[in-house]
Chain A
Amino acid sequence: MRKYGGIIQKNRGTSHCFGEQNRAKSHVPSNWRSVASFALVGIALMASACSNGSGGSSGNSSATIPGSTSHTLNIAFTEDTQPLDPDVYYAGSGNIAIQAMYEGLVQYVKQPLTYTKDATFTPPSSRTQIIPDLASSWTTSPDGLTYTFTLRTGVTFHDGTPFNSEAMKEDFTRRTEVNGGPAYMLADVSSVDTPDPQTFVVHLSKANNAFMDYLASTYGPKAISPAVLNAHGGNDFAQKYLTTHDGGTGPYMMTKGVSGQEYVLSSYSGYWDPTVKPWYSTVNIHIIPDIGTQQLELEKGQLSMILNGLTTQAIQSFNSNSSLHTYSVPTLVTPAVWVNPSTPVFSSKKVRQDFDAAIDKKTIVDDIFPGRAVVANQIFPSGELPAGSAMQDPTYDPSKFAKDVSAFSGSKAIILGYDQADPADLPVADLMQTELAAAGLQVTVKGYTDTVLYGFPTNPKGAPDLLVDSNWPDAQAPDTWARIVMYTPSPTGVAGGLNYLGCSDPAGDSLLDQALAATDPSQAQTLVAQAGEEYASYGCWDVIAYRGDTVVAPSWMSGLVHQVPIPDAVVLADLKPVG
C-alpha cells in the first residue's frame, strides 16, 4: 500500500483532473453512450477523487520533498525474506525494524551520520564500542566462562509485562529451541542463573571472546515478553505469532503486519528511557523490491527515505538534487572474490596468490563504488583489527597471473559467478571478466541465487570457479567473519556457511579456534591476526573493498544515527525534522 494523503491535501482545490473531459460527455452522440459508459464512469470517479481530495495524487514534482511536519514516516524494504522474529531473522532489510522493536542486554554504540555535500566515505577505523542496553552493567570472570549482567529496572514489554532476568532466561531457551540461523550464538552457553530479578548470569562451556559481540549483534538474543511466549507459544515457540506481531521492549511496536506486504510500527508510550522520544509516532514499512519505484516514491514524497539498494547512477542523480541529502554510511560490508581450489587452474596456492595480485581493486572501487567504498587491505572487514595486521594488500601486478595461465595446459574456460541478490556484484564480475580475459582465460559470467550458493558447500558439483559476493559479519568480532566465510565447512561444526566453494585451510582454522578461546584480549587479537594472515596467504578469499551503505533522505530530515556493525539500518527513534 502506498501513501498519497500528503500530496492530496496539498492539492485540494486544484483543477487539473478530469473536469473538462467529464463535461464533454454531453457532446457524445447518443448511440455511443452505452459504448463509452464504463470509461466515463471511471473518469467520473477520478474527477470525484480529485475534487474531494480522497485519492489519487497530484501536485507538481517540486523541488521540496513534502512531509516535514508529518509524524508518519514511510520507508521501504527491498525484500522481506524472513519474519521479523529476533530468533529467526537473519538478513538485511529488516534490521531497522528489529532494532526499533527489540532490545538485548548490550548494544553497539550509536554514531551520528553527518551530511557532507560530496558524500565522502570513510570506513570504520576501529571496533565499535559495546555499551549497556537492557543490562546496565556486566562483569566477566577471569576464565571467560561466566558473564554476570545487572539488569535495568522499570523496563516493560509492549504488552506491559515487566522485564526481568526470568524473561531473559526464557528468550535464551527459546532461541535454542527455535534453532534458527542465529542460534549458534548461544551454542556455548551451558546454563543461565537468575539469582534475583535484576541479575542474569550466563555460564559458557568454553571460553568464547566473541560472546559479548554476539549479544550486541542485531542477530543476537533479544528480550521477548514471556507473556507473549506463553500465550502464543503453540507448537512453534510463538514463531507464527511473532511473524505479524512483536513482543519486545523497544521504542516501537508492531501494530500491523502482513508478511511480504507491509508492516506498521507505532511508538511505544511506555518506553523505559525518558531521553528517547520518537518524533515519528507511526512508521509505515512497505515492501518495494524495485529500487526504481522507490526512487520515484521518494521524489514524490511518498517515501521518507531510501535505506539501501541504490545503484551508483541513482546516487549520483540524487547528489544533484538539492532537496535530498545523500549520506555515506560506514558499515562492515565487504565485497570479496571466492576462489575455487578444485578448479585445476587455481589448484596451486602460488597461482591463487598471483590471481589476488591480478585483481585491479582500485579500478573496481573507482568504477563500481565511486564515493562509497575504499580498497581493502586487510582480510577482515574494516576496523575489526588494527591497521597493519592480517594484511591482504598485494601490489597490483597482472603479469604473474598471466604467465601462470599461459603455462597452464588444461582447460582455460572458467565460470565467474556472482550473487544475484546484490546489484553491485554483477558489475564487479563484469569488470573482472575483462581482466581475466586479458590474462588468457575464457570467462563466462553467471548469476546464482542464495539457495544455489548455499548448496555448494555440501554439494560442490556445478560450483563456479570464482565467485563475487558482498557480505557483512554477524557482529564486529573478527571471528564472526572468518568463521562463516573461511572456516572449513564441517558436517558437525557450526561454521562455514559462506565458505561457498569449500576451500579448507586447516592451519588458519586452528589459529582461529585458539584465538576464540583466548581470554587475554591482546593474545586473542594476535592469534586472530595470524589466522587472517594464514587465510590471506592461502588465496581462497580475496577481499576487494570496504563498502558503505548509502542512505538518501529529504534535506529537512535530521537525527540520522546508526550502528556500524548493523547494515541497512538507521535508528528510527532518533529521526526527526530539522529544528
Chain B
Amino acid sequence: MTSFVVKRVGAALGIVVVLTFVMFFLQRISHTDPVHAMLGAGASPAAVRAEAHRLGLDRPLVDQYFSYLKGLTHLDFGTSYRLREPVSTALATYFPATMELTAYSLLFALVIALILGVGGAGKWKGAGVFRAIMLPAACIPPFLLAMFGKIVFYEHLNLLPAAGRISSSVANPPTGPTGFLTIDGLIAGKPNVTIDAFIHLLLPALCIALIPAISIGRILRSSIEQTMQMDHVRTARAKGLKERSVLLKHALRNSVGPALSMAGLQLGLMFAGVVVIEIMFNWPGVGWFLAQSIPQGDFPAIAGVTLVLSITYVAINAAVDVLQAVADPRIRV
C-alpha cells in the first residue's frame, strides 16, 4: 500500500512540474509584452525595461524558470502584473469563494444523484420518468443552464440573485475563519450572512451540480439494479420486507461505492468547470480572477490559478485512487 501511495503522489507531482514547464515556456515564447501593457501606451522604453528588470523578466529563460519553481516551494507564485500584489495573496482572497461554491455544488450533486439514482432504479411507475430526465439533462451545458437560470429565476421570477457572493447591503460580512460565508456567518452569530450567502450560491451551485449529478446518478442506478439481483436482497424480499425497505436498507448501502468513486472524479471536474460559471455569475472565485487576468497577459496570475486548480484536480484523483485501492485491494494489481 505504501509503495502504491508513493507512486500515485510521485506521478501527481510529476504532472504538476510538467504543467509548470509547459505554461512557463509557452508564455515566454509568445509574442507578448505584458510589461508594456501593464504600464500603458505612454510608458517609455526605459520605464518598460526598468519594470521588466524589477520583475526579473530580463534574466535568462532557464534562470527565470528555476526561480519560479523555487518560489513555488514557498508558495510564492510571483507578483500579479494587474493587481501589483503577490498572486498568493490574491489566491487567498479568491480561492475560498471557489471552494465554497464547489463544496455546495458537490452537496447538491450528491442529493440530486441520490434522488435520480434511487428514483430511477426501482420498479415503480415513476422510475421511467427519472430515467427519462437523466438523458436530456446530461446534455445541457452548464453555461446554457446558467443563462436559463438567470433569465427565469432572476429576470422574470425575481427569486434569486444572479451575481456576486453576498448582497452589499449586508454590513461587515465576516472574513474568516473558514472563508465559507455560509459557515462564517453562523460562527460570527450573523445568520443573515449565512442566509444571504446561501441564496447567492444556489443558482451557480445548481448549474455546476447538474451534470455531475446525472453522472453519479446513473452509476448509482446501475449499481442498485445489480445489487437488487443479489442473493441477500432476494432473502430480504423472502422475509416479507416492503420493496422500499429492501431498496433503502439492503440495496442502497451496498450500491453507493461506485457512485462515491464517480463523485470523487466529478469533484475534480467541477473545479475545472467552475471557471465558466464564476464568470457568468460574477462569482469572485479563482475562475473569475483567471478570466480577468487572461486579457491582461498576467502570467503569474494565470499560472497561479492554473496550478492551484490542477493541483486540486490531481490531488482529488490521487485520493480517489488511493481510497479505491483501500476499498478494493485488486486495484493495486
Interface, chain A (partner B; CB < 8 A): 1-8, 16-17, 31, 35-36, 38-39, 42, 45-46, 48-49, 54-61, 74, 79-83, 88, 90-91, 179-185, 187, 219, 239-240, 243, 258-262, 284, 286-290, 293, 296-297, 299-300, 302, 420-421, 449-456, 458-459, 461-462, 471, 474, 484, 490-495, 497-498
> Shortest distance in angstroms between B36's beta carbon and chain A's nearest beta carbon?
4
Per the bound structure, the CA–CA distance linking A299 and B151 in Å amounts to: 12
Instruction: Name the residue of chain B whose CB is nearest to the CB of A297.
Output: B163
Most chain B CB within a 10 A radius of its CB, from A261, A300, A491:
A261
Q: Is B159 within 8 A of A55, CB to CB? A: no
Per the bound structure, the CA–CA distance linking A7 and B158 in Å amounts to: 10
**Chain B, 175-225, CB within 8 A of any chain A CB:** 192, 194-196, 198-200, 202
| B67 interface residue (CB < 8 Å to A) | no
Q: Is B115 within 8 A of A180, CB to CB? A: no
Q: Which residues of B contact A184 (CB under 8 A)?
A: 42-44, 47
| B136 interface residue (CB < 8 Å to A) | no
Q: Which residues of A contact B159 (CB under 8 A)?
A: 16-17, 56-58
A458/B43 contact (C-beta < 8 A), A1-B167, A296-B155 known: no
Q: Is A181 within 8 A of B32, CB to CB? A: no
Binds A, one of B15-23, B81-89, B315-323: B81-89
Binds A, one of B229-237, B278-286, B324-332: B278-286
Partner of A35, one of B115, B155, B160, B245: B115
Per the bound structure, the CA–CA distance linking A299 and B158 in Å amounts to: 11
**Can you list 15 A-B contacts with CB-CB less than 8 angstroms, sorted by A residue number?**
A1-B284, A31-B244, A36-B115, A45-B198, A259-B85, A260-B90, A262-B168, A287-B282, A450-B297, A452-B32, A454-B33, A455-B32, A490-B45, A492-B46, A497-B40
> Shortest distance in angstroms between A37's beta carbon and chain B's nearest beta carbon?
9
Q: Is A290 within 8 A of B195, CB to CB? A: no
Partner of B41, one of A88, A484, A492: A484
Q: Is A497 within 8 A of B42, CB to CB? A: yes
Q: Which residues of A contact B245 (CB under 8 A)?
A: 31
| B166 interface residue (CB < 8 Å to A) | yes
| B118 interface residue (CB < 8 Å to A) | yes
Per the bound structure, the CA–CA distance linking A105 and B164 in Å amounts to: 38
**Chain B, 109-167, CB within 8 A of any chain A CB:** 111, 114-115, 118, 150, 154-156, 158-167
| B275 interface residue (CB < 8 Å to A) | no
Q: Is B33 within 8 A of A455, CB to CB? A: yes
Q: Is A498 within 8 A of B155, CB to CB? A: no
Per the bound structure, the CA–CA distance linking A31 and B154 in Å amounts to: 34
**Chain B, 218-267, CB within 8 A of any chain A CB:** 244-245, 248
> Shortest distance in angstroms between B78's beta carbon and chain A's nearest beta carbon?
15
A450/B37 contact (C-beta < 8 A), A184-B44, A490-B45 known: yes
Q: Is B47 within 8 A of A491, CB to CB? A: no
Q: Is B111 within 8 A of A462, CB to CB? A: no
Instruction: Name the residue of chain B whose CB is nearest to the CB of A29.
Output: B244
Partner of B43, one of A60, A80, A497: A497
| B55 interface residue (CB < 8 Å to A) | no
Interface, chain B (partner A; CB < 8 A): 30-34, 36-47, 50-51, 82-85, 90, 93, 107, 111, 114-115, 118, 150, 154-156, 158-170, 192, 194-196, 198-200, 202, 244-245, 248, 279-280, 282, 284, 289, 291-292, 294-297
Q: Is B195 within 8 A of A293, CB to CB? A: no
> Shortest distance in angstroms between A490's beta carbon and chain B's nearest beta carbon?
7
Partner of B168, one of A46, A284, A462: A284
Partner of A182, one of B40, B90, B155, B199: B40
Instruction: Name the residue of chain B whose CB is nearest to the CB of A239.
Output: B84
Q: Is B43 within 8 A of A181, CB to CB? A: yes
Q: Is B295 within 8 A of A91, CB to CB? A: no
Per the bound structure, the CA–CA distance linking A7 and B154 in Å amounts to: 12
Q: Is B82 within 8 A of A82, CB to CB? A: yes
A494/B44 contact (C-beta < 8 A), A54-B196, A450-B296 known: yes
**Seed contacts A1-B166, A8-B169; 18 additional CB < 8 Å A-B pairs:** A4-B167, A4-B169, A7-B158, A82-B40, A83-B83, A83-B84, A183-B44, A184-B47, A243-B83, A260-B83, A296-B150, A300-B158, A452-B297, A454-B36, A459-B33, A491-B45, A494-B42, A497-B40
Instruction: Name the residue of chain A whose CB is nearest to the CB of B114.
Output: A35
Instruction: Name the residue of chain B whose CB is nearest to the CB of A460.
Output: B31
> Shortest distance in angstroms between B19's beta carbon and chain A's nearest beta carbon?
21
A289/B291 contact (C-beta < 8 A), A184-B42, A455-B31 known: yes
> Shortest distance in angstroms between A291's beta carbon and chain B's nearest beta carbon?
12
Q: Which residues of A contact B38 (CB under 8 A)?
A: 82
Per the bound structure, the CA–CA distance linking A293 and B147 in Å amounts to: 10
Instruction: Name the residue of chain B whose CB is nearest to the CB of A492.
Output: B45
Q: Is B118 within 8 A of A35, CB to CB? A: yes
Per the bound structure, the CA–CA distance linking A490 and B33 in Å amounts to: 16
Q: Is B37 within 8 A of A451, CB to CB? A: yes
Q: Which residues of B contact A179 (CB under 8 A)?
A: 47, 50-51
> Shortest distance in angstroms between A178's beta carbon and chain B's nearest beta carbon?
9
Q: Is A57 within 8 A of B158, CB to CB? A: yes
Per the bound structure, the CA–CA distance linking A55 and B193 in Å amounts to: 9
Q: Which residues of A contact B194 (CB under 8 A)?
A: 45
Per the bound structure, the CA–CA distance linking A274 and B41 in Å amounts to: 37
Q: Is A61 within 8 A of B155, CB to CB? A: yes
> Shortest distance in angstroms between B164's beta carbon and chain A's nearest beta carbon?
4
> Shortest distance in angstroms between B297's beta carbon and chain A's nearest beta carbon?
3
Q: Which residues of B contact A187 (CB under 8 A)?
A: 44
Per the bound structure, the CA–CA distance linking A96 and B51 in Å amounts to: 27
A4/B161 contact (C-beta < 8 A), A49-B199, A57-B154 known: yes
Q: Which residues of B contact A6 (CB under 8 A)?
A: 169
Q: Is A3 within 8 A of B168, CB to CB? A: yes
> Shortest distance in angstroms between B216's beta carbon and chain A's nearest beta carbon?
14
Q: Is A1 within 8 A of B39, CB to CB? A: no
Q: Is B163 within 8 A of A288, CB to CB? A: yes
Per the bound structure, the CA–CA distance linking A193 and B34 in Å amounts to: 37
Per the bound structure, the CA–CA distance linking A292 and B90 in Å amounts to: 26
A45/B158 contact (C-beta < 8 A), A31-B248, A239-B84, A497-B36 known: no
A2/B296 contact (C-beta < 8 A), A181-B41, A239-B84 known: no
Per the bound structure, the CA–CA distance linking A258 and B333 in Å amounts to: 51
Q: Which residues of A contact B37 (CB under 8 A)?
A: 450-451, 453-454
A57/B160 contact (C-beta < 8 A), A1-B165, A88-B84, A454-B33 known: yes
Most chain B CB within a 10 A radius of its CB, from A3, A181, A491:
A181
Instruction: Name the residue of chain A whose CB is nearest to the CB of B164.
Output: A2
Q: Is A49 within 8 A of B292, CB to CB? A: no
Per the bound structure, the CA–CA distance linking A88 and B84 in Å amounts to: 10
Q: Which residues of B contact A453 (CB under 8 A)?
A: 37
Instruction: Name the residue of chain B whose CB is nearest to the CB of A35.
Output: B114
> Shortest distance in angstroms between A185's beta carbon and chain B's nearest beta carbon?
8
A182/B42 contact (C-beta < 8 A), A2-B161, A454-B37 known: yes
Partner of A60, one of B46, B90, B158: B158
A1/B154 contact (C-beta < 8 A), A293-B282, A451-B37, A484-B42 known: no
Q: Is B195 within 8 A of A260, CB to CB? A: no
> Shortest distance in angstroms between A317's beta carbon and chain B's nearest beta carbon?
13
Instruction: Name the residue of chain B whose CB is nearest to the CB of A421.
Output: B295
